Structure 1
Amino acid sequence: MNFEQPKPDSKKYSDLISEIQKGIIKIPKFQRDFVWSIDKTAKLLDSILKGYPIGTFILWQTDERINDIKNVGNLNIPPTPDGNKVQYVLDGQQRITSLFAAYLGAEIQKIGEKKTTDYNNIYVNLDVDIEENDEQVIAPEPIGDHFLSLSDVLNFMDRMTDIQNRFSKEHFKQIHAYSRAFDTYDFSTVLLRKEDIESAIEVFTRINTGGQTLTLFEIISAKTYDEKQQFDMQSKWGSLIKELKKIKYESISSAVVLSILSLVLSRTKECKRKTILSLNKQEIIDTWSKVISALKDSIDYFRTTYRIPVSHLLPYDSLLVPFAYFFYYKQDRPEAGQRKYLEEFFWRMSLSFRYSSSAESRLAQDIKRIDKILAGVRPEYSDIKIFLDSPQSLIDTNFSAGNSYCKAVICLLAYQEPKDFRDNSKVILDNSWLKVANSRNYHHFFPKAYLKGKTTLESNSLMNITLVSEHLNKRKIGAKAPSVYIGDFEVQNSEINTALNSHFIDIKGHGIESNDYKQFLTARAEKIFTHLKSRIELTHTEPANEEIEELILSGESESVEFKSTLRYDLRQKAVNKALEYVIAKTISAFLNSTGGNLFIGIDDNQNVLGLNDDISTLKKRDIDGFELQLVEVIKKYIGKEFSSHIKINFPEYDGQNICRISVSQSSRPVFVSFKDKENFFIRSGCSSQPLSREEQSIYEKEHWS
């Protein structure tokens, strides 16, 4: 560390207090909170009174300003005056805080305690002989007349007249002697004069082997604290976590942001501890906002594109790092090819135990892959083994809520937006319920209690896990056989197979009716295996339907609109024919403008919902039936004479069929008939707007003349 050889020094009690009050001696924020009890403080003062050694205070003298404690209870500690060096307490924080609190009578409410401790309530018992080992300085108020507050002793000169009036000459002399004992006590100090914080932190770490170990985040927070620039990393991170709690992503580690900072700032694109410690303070401050924005973008991408609703489902927090790196440089939604490559990256990392060990070095390797994706090139993964050999490998995996592989599969289940067996409503997932395997959200489809004694197969197989609501899991299912409880739900939910499908389960062929656990595991594992393989097996050619992907990823505009359904009301869980009119209205607006594309089965957030909800409402329950219904809607509201301007097809996107309606500009005005009234719509921005008769007349002249 190359410190100047420290020389032992000493300070008087009054000097310590004075330097704290002047802002010269400071307690760095990375020190643990003040936890000593008032009794322990009293024992410290008793040792000083008796002349016992109490250990050395180690102070770090520097021009640097790091985050420090601003008050001790009700007593404020001022900032260090400009031009002065500051002395940060590296060892002795509990002792020096006790001395300060006792001297000035601080009132402190410690963390975890409801009441405030008043440090005026420390007393000196005059009946105890100082030559004896009995404690003279005590916290409980003694019984009798021969005691006074420690504050009176420490401030003897200021209160001498009052003390003289209250006590006998003998006691007055005794109190005066005690006062001098405190005044003349030499507090041992060592002053370290090395300027850099890394050296000071190293000293702190070595001398606090039995105490608190500083995290890397605490070290960097201390290093980058800047009062003039109003930069406090710990405070900013705390504010971000509060913000993320609203979207259920509050459990991510602060190590994530340090890794992102290091990967974008370091010349070597590494995030090892040594590299992070060497980062430039000002560069960190200047880059912070952009890094946090990229982190938010990656979280938003996980929530909307991969539909991971809560942070506890992430196989690794570290997965956010490469994605944030991507958004740091991309600063926009991924293009079609990039989107596929990112998806492959996500699933390969998740299914390979990639960040279970040596995460720092592996992140550095994977950033090179992200650089390729940024350049539009598919990375190679020959060095990474995917643990997905066969459906049997999924069956053989024992479920654990903390296992990254299990979490990856659960992410796939969450992507399906699993529906409640009772009414097809969306299952709500929560961080607080997903930490442990016996969570309220995790349900064994074949209940463990039901399987007990009935099979030699593992009841806790990953393929037996579904995501359900807490009420459903504990109160409605219990230990019932699947044939029984699914039969009960089928009575109240005629569309229960839609709900089961959202869990990769079919009411037929999955062993439900016969309670065949082996058949269930096999059938479900094959489904999930197929879906997982499709996410990691890409060809080197550009993804299919690139034009469609570009249109969807670009979002809604004057020429693109998304509709979740044709006629199925997702809120009412029933057919709502008013939605069909909305579809016709949008088509007519495109006809009356410059054309456009209407996608059905995509919501406003570009999430793929597919067409199953609509199809389940039709007599002919397939794509052909959907197209027939759509054609009828167009005929009813617009008329068949415009069919040459309307093309309907059903591309597959993200593993699901959606409907694309391509509309070209009409050569004449198009009206939508509704309730015996003809309405005229045009596209304006991202929506379809009606025009009055007068506005329509002006528009027709400008548009078709």
Structure 2
Amino acid sequence: MGFQTPMYTLSQYLEETRSGRIQLPDFQRGYKWDDERIRQLLITVLRGHPMGVVMLLETNNALVRFKPRPIAGVELKPGTEPEKLLLDGQQRLTSLTQALTEDGVVQTKDVRGKLLERRYFVHMESALEDINRMDEAVRSVPADGVIRTNFDRDVVLDLSTPDKQREAGYFPLNLLFDPTGSMEWLFALEDKSLAFSFMENFVSPAGKYNIPAIELDADTDKAAVATVFEKVNIGGLPLNVFELLTAVFAGDGDYFAATGSDFRLNDDWQETRRQWADYPVLAGVENTDFLQAVTMLATRERHLASESSRPRAISAKREDVLKLELTDYLKWRDPLREAFIWASAFLADRHIFTSRDIPYPKQLVPLAAIKVVLGNSADMHSVSARLSTWYWSGVLGELYGSATETRFVRDIEAVPTWAVNPESPTPRTILDANFTESRLHSMRTRNSAAYKGVAALVMAGDTRDWMEDKLFGAVQHKDMAVDIHHIFPKRWCNENGIDDEHRESIVNKTMLGARTNRMIGGVAPSSYLRKIEREAGITEEELDRLLTAHLIDPKYLRTDNFASFFSARREELCLLIESVLDKKVQRDISQGIAAEDSSHFEEEAFIEATPEEA
């Protein structure tokens, strides 16, 4: 990548934006400057103050062909190709192009976001009298040139025609860079000295107004464009790879030659979302997640096919996502669409039914990619069991909170082979996963992935609601508004001196329907159990069996013995976690290695209190 730093006059920029020699790459967001910012920009030009640099990218680039689009408000003949793409300076050049050329009408908005059409004028005498009065000299007026008050009944200023503009002494700024138009307008003034003075002090200097540029050469690749764009666009929204690839794919010449149209990545993503509409657990999958999965599969295929001693690595990194070709995307799109749907069923089998309940949404990226690699064998009993071990290792080992790209790659490299052949090397995620007994104390809110994971594990253990005779399947989960609720109610805990750590721990919570939670209220367990038996028409023995399925020892609830309940259920949860990790949970509290507190874990905000227990 090389660059140069030329200086161009504003008139050159205006000529090139209007002719289409400068256009925008399609990944740029839309024009959005408000009326006052445009007015201040025009004041900057009239005062001859600098406005900063713009950044341009030479086209005819062998490494990347972005789909171009004209500056907002500019109409070009179909097929007009740019010589340069504007990477930074869109808002400024769009404002100047609209305000200083053609009819000068700018499509803008006020500070409240109301859409407006405005034109801009400068009061000549005020501007000439004192350059410091330029702020009051430059006026923004409606597109018809008339400022009205009193609900549009009274005209305050009428600049709708050249004669009325001259009579009021307001020069239309859309003529500032039109030598013929500005001269004709000015020398139709009765006061020729005013005309000469304004021409000399503002019109002529404007023709020499320079704006520096940074021009990136034609050897600049997509990753460099993205990096540079982010560095110069700190004040705006960050560019993501999906937006950049949207422009790249739309500019794919081979696709256009084959189909007669551009490929619209965003439209294609919306089709993906439509295909997933019946799978609410996929609602949180982002377009960039999908692209990462495509990238892993594309780079894996090239890695396996390479005969080099140092083949290109499998990757999910941003720079490699940006190297995707449209052919890569189209090859893996449909298999991945189906794989994510398969992943929703995989999660449902583990009693995770909504996107809110997914412990680590990003773990769906390698899960879907692994499914594509495994194909139909992913559903075989032994393979599915090992995939489950890998999944719960990531959740309960809390391994997807950071550095996910590296773990994605390790998973796609090792998990498919190991899932089919357990004699092959054990995946790093499984080796890295560990769980300690005391962690149960600090899992208190949905901020913790493991908290949501343990809740799902308990629900998957053939559990039923305590009031309604329903298993916690996907339909029942929705119909009963199932959520995580306290076993010893919050109010009872507060009244009986139970500290925050024990009260809010996942040990003191389970999955229940909304109706049951309302029945529990804030009273002692011994009281609400009798109420449930009476209202549900269930015997003590039957209710005890339901409690036991939730890993609760009924006798401790019936005697309101919180300490014994907590200790016994903590052990049951440790055994449950051991069963899915296929490794021991360290009993650091039971063995006296750790105190029965969680001060060594990061505090989590308490957000789970229910209205009934508040």
CA–CA distance in 1 between the matches of 2:278 and 2:113?
Answer: 28
Distance in 1 between residues matched to 2:551 and 2:379, nearest whole Å: 34
- What CA distance in whole angstroms lies between the structure 2 residues aligned with 1:322 and 1:408? 18
- Contact conserved, 1:442 with 1:468, CA < 8 A, in 2? yes
Q: Which amino acid aligns with 1:447?
A: P
Counterparts of residues 2-401 of structure 1 (less than 5 Å) = 3-4=2-3, 6-13=4-11, 15-31=12-28, 33-63=30-60, 64-67=64-67, 72=72, 75=73, 78=76, 81=79, 84-103=81-100, 104-108=104-108, 115-120=114-119, 122-130=120-128, 131-134=130-133, 135=135, 136-139=137-140, 145-147=168-170, 149-151=172-174, 153=176, 157-158=180-181, 169=192, 172-173=195-196, 178-195=202-219, 196-209=221-234, 211-226=236-251, 228=256, 230-241=262-273, 244=276, 247-248=279-280, 249-266=282-299, 267=303, 268=312, 270-273=314-317, 276-277=320-321, 279-332=323-376, 334-373=379-418, 375-377=420-422, 380=426, 384-389=431-436, 392-393=437-438, 395-401=440-446
Deviation at 1:116, TM superposition (A): 0.5
Does the 8 A contact of 1:107 with 1:117 survive in 2? yes
Deviation track 1:549-606 (CA, whole Å, cap 9, x = no partner) reads: xxxxxxxxxxxxxxxxxxxxxxxxxxxxxxxxxxxxxxxxxxxxxxxxxxxxxxxxxx
Residue 601 of structure 2 corresponds to which residue in structure 1? none
Deviation track 1:65-84 (CA, whole Å, cap 9, x = no partner) reads 32556663xx36548836x4
Shift in alpha-carbon separation, 1:358–1:188, aligned structure 2, 3 A: closer
| Alignment equivalent of 1:525, drawn from 565, 570, 584 | 570
- The one-letter code matched in structure 2 to 1:233 is L
Q: TM-score, normalised by structure 2?
A: 0.72
Q: Cα deviations across residues 234-271 of structure 1 (Å, max 9, x unaligned)?
A: 44335545654653222234443233223212125532
**Structural mapping, 1:440-451, within 5 Å:** 441-451=483-493
Counterpart amino acid of residue 338 in structure 1: V
| Matched position secondary structure for 2:442 | coil
Could you tell me how far 1:54 is from its partner in structure 2? 1.7
Q: How many residues align?
A: 520
**AA matched with 1:289:** R
Contact 1:308 1:414 in 2 (8 A): no
TM-score normalized by structure 1? 0.64
Task: Tell me the distance in 2 between the aligned counterparts of 1:155 and 1:499.
Answer: 88
Query: Equivalences for 1:418-437 in 2 at 5 Å?
Result: 420-424=465-469
Q: CA deviation at 1:39?
A: 1.0
- Mapped to 1, the partners of 2:551 and 2:402 lie a distance apart of 38
For 1:487, which of 511, 526, 530 is the aligned residue?
530
Deviation of 1:55 after TM superposition, in Å, equals 1.9
Q: Indicate if the aligned counterparts of 1:260 and 1:291 stay in contact, CA closer than 8 A.
A: no
CA deviation string 1:135-190 (max 9, x = no partner): 23233688663335434656684587777778755555566554444444333333
SS in 2 for 1:331: helix
Larger Rg: 1
Where 1:512 maps in the other structure, the secondary structure is helix
SS at match of 1:107: strand
Provide the secondary structure at the position in 2 that maps to 1:357.
coil
CA gap of 1:522–1:253, structure 2 versus 1, over 3 A, is farther
Measured after TM superposition, the shift of residue 364 of structure 1 is 2.1
8 Å CA contact retained: 1:394, 1:463: no
**What is the aligned partner in structure 2 of residue 658 from structure 1?**
none
Look up the SS of the partner of 1:187 in the other structure: strand
For residue 401 of structure 1, report the CA deviation from its aligned partner. 0.9
Deviations 1:26-68 (A, max 9, x none): 2334445544321111111111122222222221112243255
The answer to whether the 8 Å contact 1:59/1:89 transfers is: yes
CA distance in 2, matches of 1:246, 1:168: 73
Ranked by relative contact order (alpha carbons within 8 Å, sequence separation 6 or more), the top structure is 2
Q: Output the CA distance in 2 between the equivalents of 1:292 and 1:17.
A: 45
CA distance in 1, matches of 2:27, 2:388: 39
- 2:268 counterpart SS class: helix
AA paired with 2:84? Answer: Q
Q: Which moved more, 1:378-387 or 1:326-335?
A: 378-387
Q: Give, in angstroms, the shift of residue 454 of structure 1.
A: 1.6
Amino acid at match of 1:204: F
Quote the Cα distance in structure 1 between the aligned partners of 2:449 and 2:32: 37
Considering only aligned residues, what root-mean-square deviation do their CA atoms show, in Å?
4.0
Structure 2 counterparts to residues 491-570 of structure 1, below 5 A: 491-495=534-538, 501=546, 504-505=549-550, 509-537=554-582
Once residues 417 and 160 of structure 1 are traced to their aligned partners in structure 2, the CA distance between those partners, rounded to angstroms, is 87
Structure 2 distance, partners of 1:24, 1:426, is: 65
SS in 2 for 1:27: strand
Asked if structure 1 preserves the Cα contact closer than 8 Å seen for 2:492 and 2:523, the reply is yes
